[in-house]
Structure 1
Amino acid sequence: MRTRPLKVALLGCGVVGSEVARIMTTHADDLAARIGAPVELAGVAVRRPSKVREGIPAELITTDATALVKRGDIDVVVEVIGGIEPARTLITTAFEHGASVVSANKALLAQEGQSLYAAAEQHGRDLYYEAAVAGAIPLIRPLRESLAGDKVNRVLGIVNGTTNFILDKMDTSGAGYSEALDEATALGYAEADPTADVEGFDAAAKAAILAGIAFHTRVRLDDVYREGMTEVTAADFASAKRMGCTIKLLAICERAADGGSVTARVHPAMIPLSHPLASVRGAYNAVFVEADAAGQLMFYGPGAGGSPTASAVLGDLVAVCRNRLNEATGPGESAYTQLPVSPMGDVVTRYHISLDVADKPGVLAQVATVFAEHGVSIDTVRQQGKDGEADLVVVTHRAPDAALSGTVEALRKLDTVRGVASIMRVEGE
């Protein structure tokens, strides 16, 4: 074993960073044995140096992250501060000064992955980011290494634990959205401002990363269609149960049937109870991958939290340190296919539409005519009337999303339609 330690700079020492530092210290001997050399925590950049950080020597703490990554003797920089800046500049500076990088920064990778990969390649260094998508779940490495010889056609997943906890609570207890969110907040699953989670921004960043790796093409955050889940109601769950379904916030990345384009989207959807993702409960994550040769694969586990995320960070750290010892680098960007990203309107899917309509003869015929005019075939219809009004639920066959969206807009204009109570896509069939 080499005696000179590999030096690691840690940017950020919050929930994840502090756990990374703890594991590096308590498992130092095991890490050294697995890597082939000792690993030394050489510095920790923080914003509040006065905060007590148990187990981290005070002399390692600094507020000057730039000086830390410029030292020149740092082998690996671990970035867990999040956000776009200063993380982007710090990472590129680390490459320029000879360090490889392990990051958990999904937003940065989804928005600036191309430039970061280019900087890593220019300086002959690694960029690893297993922790950016699904916490402790091994997902990035299987997609870009284990399945590198296969053709991945679809990635369908629950990649946000907060939203899954909320929807699971609504499903199992009958709670409304606000009530379920309050419980998630009280238990620490939801942030004080849950917007990034419940509006799908977090999942969209992860979808961009997954699509780029799975389809060997560049997919940015702006390419991902996104809908939040704040409008999902108890009535939607009741309708889903009548169909033998439940509701999940899904990240869906697909290759077109002709192989000429890809799509990436995040939105709530009904999925059959028979689908493996339907049984994913609480704050857990799961990703379902469909490939030509491997068939159907599912990755499941805790997708967030200090310890699970730190586990993924440490896995990357071991891999990058091994590469440093061997004077090699791991996989870089694979974007050789250069496939275009199609808009949401081109996606072929199904709709579940709930309408408030007048309960009188001819209404169903009017509604059916609108569907026919837009080239959308109806699968099932359920109508229940009361006191001159009726709840009309229509489930469609598969059709382009643009045609389905146009159908809904035309339905809104009918005099006999009092309102569109709910629109939800149906997936996983």
Structure 2
Amino acid sequence: MALIVIHSCTPSESSPPVVSIELPSDGLAIEAGDTLLVRATAMDDEQIAKWTVTLTDEFFVPTGTRIKFQPSGKNVQIELDYPIPIDLTSGIYYLLVSATDGESSTNAFSKLNATGVPRERLGLVAIVESGGQYIARLRPQGAGWSTIADLGSEFIAAGLSSATQRLVTSGTETEPMRVFDLNTNSTVYERTCSSAPGDPCISTSATDGEAFFMGKHEGRISSWNAAGQLELDFPLPEFRYPRSLYFQDGHIFVEEWSTATPNRHWSSYNAENGVPQQEILLEGSFLAAFPVAPNQMLIATNHQGVGKIRYYFYNENGYQLPIPGPSGPISTIAQRSSTTYYYGQSDGIYSIDLSSTNNLLFKPVVEPDLMQYDDINNELVCAIGNIIIGYDADSGAQLYVTPPGGNVVDVFVWYSR
């Protein structure tokens, strides 16, 4: 495995904490509603400032209660009863234990096999543009499209959390960040951003599954919890601002653009306090990032007219060499599993298996603008102009065509909790 470290930055010379999980054992079978005994230790050359224990899904998105507490000492132990959600769906989960000394942090995982309630697809959510106006639209399973909200003449980003059943959207200058309840089609709260008249303010918005994040052109990131309480607010390096946000293993990963140079960076920050951790240069235009395994992500970019798919390793802060596959620029990419992805090019949709680098033309001619994989129905959801098409993810057979009421600029699959 070839690893290329382009640039590495660490804010502290101190060693990160060493975390070990005694209980639960790796591979433990659990059931929804269980109480799980957690026993772990951490050692550090500095004082342990904070512990965090939470449950994540197989892609490391938080899905359970996040328990935080502040111990005292360089060698500390925890023992607690962790509540498994009563509405947890069957599948693979991870018990995440994180410790930080205020600068460096370390995560330990224990894999869990859960038996719970069946997870269901509840519908599709799309952000569409029509006549210069943006609209959030909802299509419940088996029903037609309805409007969640008019978003005005600005749109920069959106995110959906099935765990909280909420959608977050943002404009750029005058439109605020809005959080909507998908079950009631109502606004939960709004958060504004102030800038000089004519200047952009919000640069992105996203959700980690629990909180809702706003990136600002002034070079800051703020987050609010489901109740609308401010949880985090921190600056980025001078002359940089966030363009997209991703979350994994207690880190906030940021695609950063610069107002002073053409350089773009992939940077990470401590999710507890916003302390900078690492950064690496991005080559070309960024498309998306996907969690693969603890401390490992897959990053897709377009560089010099060709799509690049490569692994990023947090521990080494480096990239693997690009994986063979794309022959031209990628229009969009979707994750089916940690090893299987779909990507669009001008001649069609391709399926690539990274465990064997088997690259196949999945659907010729079709060039999607956006894609999402639905693991409940084994369906590839594709947005092309002003329509959304569902394809069987194995055979490529067309399942349906639905017009959401405008040109699709973002699309999400909405699930039960």
Bigger proportion of residues as helix? 1
TM more than 0.5: no
The normalised TM-score by structure 1 is: 0.24
Bigger proportion of residues as strand? 2
Q: Which has the higher contact order (CA 8 A, sep 6+)?
A: 1
The normalised TM-score by structure 2 is: 0.24
